[in-house]
């Protein structure tokens, strides 16, 4: 019996030591492989900036978890109002690698994987931080387009785990700003490019560092390649051990620099200004107490109503963003002088012009003068860059000629005896001479 007892005791002791050794190995961090996954931009506007996350492979449990800070719900209560107010909540979700690959393959977006060369202690620190952040009470955060988004969260986690290795290589100034990064990434979608350019104020034109520039997932990928890490034995190695394409896609990468479109906006503005000026004059110069032909009135009223409904909506929206929301990027927006809320009167005036109202003609002149004057003031402010340093030359180039063309048409119509007005009246189909 004693021999049996000693034998069982030895077996139990061996099992205890073996179990302790196995547990120690399980908690050593060596079982984890940590990678940053970067997804290319997609087709919808909200996918234009790309995406990224942190992939944790656990060799012990054979789990592959992708930590993703870009999750939100369309079913969230008050979603639309929170979006307009700049108070949208995002959260950290954990998705399987298989599900991640299926999602981005269906969207024709490539995935780049950068396996990090971390120490065992760094792996344990990072995994513990990820799991803590993924807890229901910790996972939500207030989303900010430029300063706290899915990409900056990845940046901060890697920098925390490595003791500042990522920040150490990203203190230099970025060659781009928040605005030019935005313009670069939306260059292939002209309406989004123009709207974002017009909607955002001077905040996004300030100089930024490469650290701040990592609000773009592609910049995190770029800076990881430059970072190093100090191993447990003191040696310094590249932070990225393996850099490979995990998922291919038939898609071109975004351009490195924003496009030069000033000439196109100038040309568009001049053409629209000349067109609206000509149409306006042919209606406004018609004698009082009589109506211009219906086709002439419709030719002016319909496009005028459509254009000014858009500018009025944008002007009111930009004012709302500035005054009533937490959208810091929309503060101090000089484009309010180009897409002015005063233009809200023009759609009503356009209806009056289509009805042949002389009162609408007089109102058109007053509003056109006001819109043109404020647009020119916006241009004059460019001479005072200390206060007015917003990069909005393209928006000025587009809108200033339109308001100016309308104001000139109103002035020449009111001053009917001017040489320019007489030339129009003498043209075929022009206004009839006054009796």
Give the H/E segment covering residue 272: helix 262-284
The CATH architecture of the domain made up of 31-247 is: Alpha-Beta Complex (3.90)
Distance CA 314, CA 185 (A): 22
Residue (of 149, 117, 161, 168) closest to 214 by Cα position: 149
Q: What is the pLDDT of residue 291?
A: 86
Residue-wise pLDDT for 344-373, tens only, equals: 999 999 999 999 999 999 999 999 999 999
Low-confidence ranges of the chain (pLDDT < 50): 4-5, 7-26, 417-421, 423-424, 427-435
Q: What is the pLDDT of residue 28?
A: 77
Residue whose structure tokens are 């150490």:
168
Q: What is the pLDDT of residue 406?
A: 97
Cα 399 to the chain's mean position, in Å?
A: 22
Q: What is the pLDDT of residue 6?
A: 53
Distance CA 120, CA 211 (A): 26
Residue-wise pLDDT for 172-198, tens only, equals: 999 999 999 999 999 999 999 999 999
What 8-state DSSP symbol labels residue 385?
Answer: T
> From start to end of 104-239, where are the E strands?
111-116, 140-142, 228-230, 236-238
Cα 30 to the chain's mean position, in Å?
A: 39
DSSP one-letter string for 227-262: -EEE-TTS-EEESEEEEEEEE--S-PPPPSS----H
Q: What is the pLDDT of residue 76?
A: 65
- Say if CB 358 and CB 365 are below 8 A apart: no
Give the H/E segment covering residue 65: strand 63-71
Q: Is the pTM of this model over 0.75?
A: yes
Within 8 A by CB and 6+ apart from 340, the residues are 311, 315, 370, 371, 374, 375
Distance CA 312, CA 314 (A): 5
Q: What is the pLDDT of residue 15?
A: 45
Within 8 A by CB and 6+ apart from 152, the residues are 214, 215
Q: What is the pLDDT of residue 2?
A: 53
Q: Which residues pair with 79 in a beta bridge?
A: none
């Amino acid at each position: 019996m004693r021999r049996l007892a000693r034998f069982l005791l030895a077996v139990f002791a061996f099992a205890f030591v073996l179990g302790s050794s196995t547990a120690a190995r399980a908690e050593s961090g060596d079982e984890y492989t940590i990678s940053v996954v970067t997804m290319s931009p997609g087709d919808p506007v909200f996918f234009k900036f790309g995406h990224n996350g942190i992939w944790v492979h656990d060799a012990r449990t054979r789990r592959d978890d992708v930590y993703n800070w870009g999750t939100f719900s369309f079913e969230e209560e008050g979603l639309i109002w929170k979006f307009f107010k700049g108070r949208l909540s995002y959260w950290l979700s954990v998705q399987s690698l298989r599900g991640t690959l299926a999602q981005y393959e269906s969207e024709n977006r490539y995935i780049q994987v950068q396996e990090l060369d971390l120490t065992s202690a760094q792996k344990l620190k990072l995994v513990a931080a990820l799991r803590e952040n993924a807890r229901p009470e910790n996972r939500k955060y207030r989303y900010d387009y430029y300063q706290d988004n899915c990409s900056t969260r990845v940046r901060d986690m890697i920098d925390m785990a490595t003791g500042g290795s990522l920040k150490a290589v990203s203190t230099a100034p970025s060659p781009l700003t928040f605005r030019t990064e935005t313009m670069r990434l939306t260059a292939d979608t002209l309406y989004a490019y123009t709207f974002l350019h017009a909607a955002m104020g001077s905040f996004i034109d300030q100089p930024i560092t490469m650290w701040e520039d990592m609000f773009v997932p592609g910049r995190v990928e770029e800076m990881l390649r430059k970072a190093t890490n100090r191993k447990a034995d003191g040696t310094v190695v590249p932070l990225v051990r393996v850099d490979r394409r995990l998922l291919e896609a038939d898609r071109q990468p975004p351009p490195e620099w924003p496009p030069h479109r000033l000439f196109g906006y100038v040309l568009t503005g001049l053409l629209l200004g000349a067109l609206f000026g000509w149409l306006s004059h042919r209606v406004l110069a018609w004698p009082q107490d009589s109506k211009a032909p219906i086709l002439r009135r419709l030719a002016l009223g319909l496009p005028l109503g459509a254009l000014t409904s858009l500018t009025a909506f944008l002007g009111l929206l930009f004012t709302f963003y500035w005054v009533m929301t937490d959208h810091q990027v929309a503060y101090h927006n000089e484009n309010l002088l180009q897409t002015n809320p005063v233009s809200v009167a023009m759609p009503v005036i356009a209806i009056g012009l289509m009805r042949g109202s002389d009162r609408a003609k007089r109102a058109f002149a007053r509003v056109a003068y006001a819109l043109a004057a404020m647009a020119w003031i916006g241009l004059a402010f460019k001479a005072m860059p200390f206060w007015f340093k917003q990069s909005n030359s393209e928006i000025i180039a587009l809108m200033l000629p339109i308001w100016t063309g309308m104001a000139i048409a109103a002035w020449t119509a009111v001053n009917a005896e001017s040489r320019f007005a007489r030339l129009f009246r003498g043209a075929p189909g022009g206004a009839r001479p006054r009796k």
